[in-house]
A and B are shown apart, each in its own frame.
Chain A
Amino acid sequence: MNTKSLKGLAIPLVSVLAGFIVGAILMLIFGYDPIQNYQNLLVGSLGGVYSIGETLRNMISLILTALGFAVASKAGFFNIGGPGQYLIGWFGAIVFTLKFSHLPAIILIIGALLCGALAGGLWSMIAGILRAYFGTSEVITTIMLNYIILYIVNFAVKGWLASKGSDSSPNITSKANLNTPFLQHITDNSTFNWGFFIALAVVALVWFYFNKTKSGFEIQAVGLNESASQYAGVNVKRTIIIAMLISGLLAGLGGAIDGLGNFENISVSNNLPNVGFNGMAVALLAAENPIGIVFAALLFSALQIGGLSISVYSNTPSEIVDIVIASIIFFVGIKYAFELMAKKGWFNRKNKVEKGGAEK
C-alpha cells in the first residue's frame, strides 16, 4: 500500500475508533458492559457461517445505495433521495416479478432487476433534470421525492398489489428468489444471496466508469468546477442528468436485489427505508471511493447485524449500534477538528500517518 492511500485512511480510521469510544462511554454511563457487548457484536456478525451470510447479505444494499450516493456526489450533488430510489426499485422489481411470473427464471430475474434499477434511475433523474434546467436544489427535491414515492408506493401496494384488507403484496414465485437452496445450504440457511456478487461486480463497474471512461471523467470534472468543464466543452446539463440517473439506478438496483433476495414481497410502510440513509453514511465514511465503500459497508453491516445479537444476549438496547454509526459520520464530518489537533502536534508522538492524513 502506498503512502497516499495510507494518508486517506487516517481520518476514517480515527473516526471509527472515536465512534466506538462514544458508544462505549454511553454504555458505561447507563451501566452496560461495553467489552461484553462489542464482543457479542463481533460474534453476532462474523462468528459463524450463518452470521457471516447475514452480514454479507446486509452489505448488498448498503454498497449499492452508497455507490449511488457517491456517483452523484462526485458530480457535486447531494442525492438524499437514496431511500426513495431504493424503495421504488424494490417496488418495481416486485411488480415485474408478480406480473410476469410465467417467464423463465433467468429472464424474470434480469427483467425484475432492470425494472427496479430503471425505476430508481428515472425517479432520481427528475431531480437531475430540475437541477440542470431550473437550478433547483437537488437536496430539497430529493427529500421531497422521497416522501412522494413513499406515499405512492404505499398507495399502490395497498390498492393494487395486496389482496383486500392486507398490507402486503403476495410473495414472489420461488424461481425468482436470489436466495437459492444451494446458498442456503452452504450458509446455514442465512439470507445470503446472489445479489452480493452482483453488488461486487457493480463496484468494479463503477470504479472502471470513474477511472477509465469519458463520461465518468466528465462527471468528476463537473463536480470539481462546473464552469471550467463547460468551457472545456463538457455538456454540463447532460452530465448532471446522467449523474443523477446513474445514482438512482444504483440505489434502485439495491432495492430490487433486496426485494428479490431478502423480502420476497413489499408491504405498506410508515417510514422511509433506513438503508438509504445508512448508504449515505457508508459513502461518507469511504470518502466516496468505490473500493472503500466495500469495506465501510462491511463495517456498518457487521454493526447492524451484530447489533441484533447485542439485545439478545444482554439487555443493552440494540440502538447503540446506530449511535456508533452516527458518531462515526459525525467525526468524519468534523475532520477539521483532527486537522487542528494535528497542527497543534497532538499526534506527533505517535506517528506521522495521522498528521499526513489531516493535511490531505
Chain B
Amino acid sequence: MSLTTILMTVFSTTFVYAAPLIFTALGGTFSERSGVVNVGLEGMMIIGAFGSTVFNLTFASTFGSLTPWISLFIGALFGLIFSVLHAVATVTFRADHIISGTVLNLMAPALAVFLTRVIYEGKGQTPVINQSMGDFTFPILSKIPFIGKVLFTNTSLVAFIAIIVGILCWYFFFRTSIGLRMRSVGENPAAADTLGINVVKYKYMGVLISGFFGGIGGAVMAQSITLNFSASTISGQGFMSLAAMIFGKWNPLGATGAALFFGLAQSLPIIGAYIPVLSHVNSVWFQIAPYAITIIVLVIFLGKAVAPAADGQNYIKGK
C-alpha cells in the first residue's frame, strides 16, 4: 500500500470511530459543566442507538438516503427523553448523581432490548439497516493534492460535523452569556442563584442537552458502525466518551480532541494489520490504550481540581 492510501485509511477509520465518541463526550461536558455528574452516558447512547435503528428500519423506504440523517435526530430525541430520568432524579429529587447514572446504565439495555423484542417478534436484535452512513468524498476539497486524498476522500462526513459541533459548543460555553451562566451553575450554584440565574433550569438544560448529544452518539454508532441494534451495539463507548471528556478537561475542544485520539486508538487494531511497524504489536495494547492513558493523564496532570467546582453536588436552595 502506498503512503497516501495508508494515511487515508488511518484517517477515515479514526473519524468513523471517533464520531460517536465526540458527540457523546460533548454531551458529557454539558451535563457536568452544569454540575451534574453523568456516568449514564453509556445508557443514553444505548437508547439513542435503539431509537435511531428502529426509525431507520421503519422509514427507510419513505426517506431513502436521507434516512440515516433523520435517524440521528430521532436518536437524539430518544436520548433527550431518556435523560429526563437523570435530570428529575438529580436536580429535583436530590439523588446521588452516580447512583442515578448507574440506574440509567442498568435501565437502558433492559428497556431497549425489551422493546426490541416487543417490536421484532421476540428477537433480541434488530435486522440490519439498509440505509446506512456510507463514505463521503468532499466535492472540491478532495481535489487538493495529497491532503485531499488523505483527509477528504472516502471519509466520514458525520465526524466532520461532529468536530464543527465541538467548536460551536466551545463557542457556546466560553463566548455566550447562556454558556457562562451554565458554567457558573456548575461552579458555584449559590452565587449564580443570588445573581438571579435559575439554577434548576440550567441544570435541566445541561442534562437534557447531554441526553440529546449522547443519543446522537449512540445513533451514529448504530448508523455507521454496527448497522443494527442489539445489547452489544454499545459496549463501553459511553464510558470511553466519559474518559474523553475528563481527558479534555471538561472543555468541548479538549473533549473533541481526546475523542479523536481515542478513535485513533480504537481504529488501530483494525488498520494495524496494514501498517508494517504496527502489524507486530498485539491489538490488546490498542484496546486498553484509551483507558490506561486516561488514568495516567488523570494521575500526572489533573488530580481532581479541574472538574467544575460544584460537579456532583446537589444544590439545595437556602442552604
Contacts and interface: CB of A to CB of B under 8 A. Distances in A.
B295 A336 contact: no
A333 B236 contact: no
B303 interface: yes
Given A137-B298, A322-B109, A333 B99 contact: yes
Contacts of A182: none
B291 A147 contact: yes
A5 interface: no
A329 B298 contact: no
Nearest to A320: B114
A337 interface: yes
B304 A136 contact: yes
Interface residues of B, number: 47
A327 interface: yes
B113 A134 contact: no
A34 to B, nearest CB: 14
A141 B95 contact: no
B299 A333 contact: no
Interface residues of A, number: 50
A135 B304 contact: yes
A38 interface: no
B114 A141 contact: no
Contact of B110 (A146, A159, A322): A322
B93 A141 contact: no
A10 interface: no
Interface string A245-278: 0000000000000000000000000111000011
B269 to A, nearest CB: 10
Contacts of B246: 140
Interface in A308-339: 315, 317, 319-320, 322-323, 325-327, 329-330, 332-337
Contact of A80 (B39, B107, B235): B39
Given A140-B246, A144-B243, A281-B106, A315 B122 contact: yes
A148 interface: yes
A284 B94 contact: no
Which of B39, B103, B232, B240 has the most chain A CB within a 10 Å cutoff?
A: B103
Contacts of A78: 98
B111 interface: yes
A134 B299 contact: yes
Interface string B90-128: 000111101110110111011101100110001000000
B103 A326 contact: yes
16 contacts: A134-B298, A134-B299, A136-B298, A136-B304, A137-B304, A143-B239, A143-B243, A144-B294, A148-B291, A152-B284, A271-B235, A327-B107, A329-B99, A332-B99, A334-B93, A336-B95
A320 B107 CA distance: 10
B287 interface: yes
Interface of A: 26, 30, 78, 80, 130, 134-137, 139-141, 143-148, 150-152, 154-155, 159, 270-272, 277-278, 280-281, 284, 315, 317, 319-320, 322-323, 325-327, 329-330, 332-337, 340
B111 A155 contact: no
Given A320-B114, A326-B107, A151 B99 contact: no
Which of A136, A140, A272 has the most chain B CB within a 10 Å cutoff?
A: A140
B294 A330 contact: no
A51 to B, nearest CB: 22
B235 A330 contact: no
B282 interface: yes
B244 to A, nearest CB: 12
Given A271-B232, A333-B99, A334-B88, 20 more contacts: A26-B114, A80-B102, A135-B304, A136-B295, A137-B304, A139-B39, A140-B242, A141-B295, A144-B239, A146-B239, A271-B236, A280-B102, A281-B102, A284-B99, A322-B109, A323-B111, A326-B111, A329-B103, A333-B103, A335-B95
B89 A333 contact: yes
A238 to B, nearest CB: 19
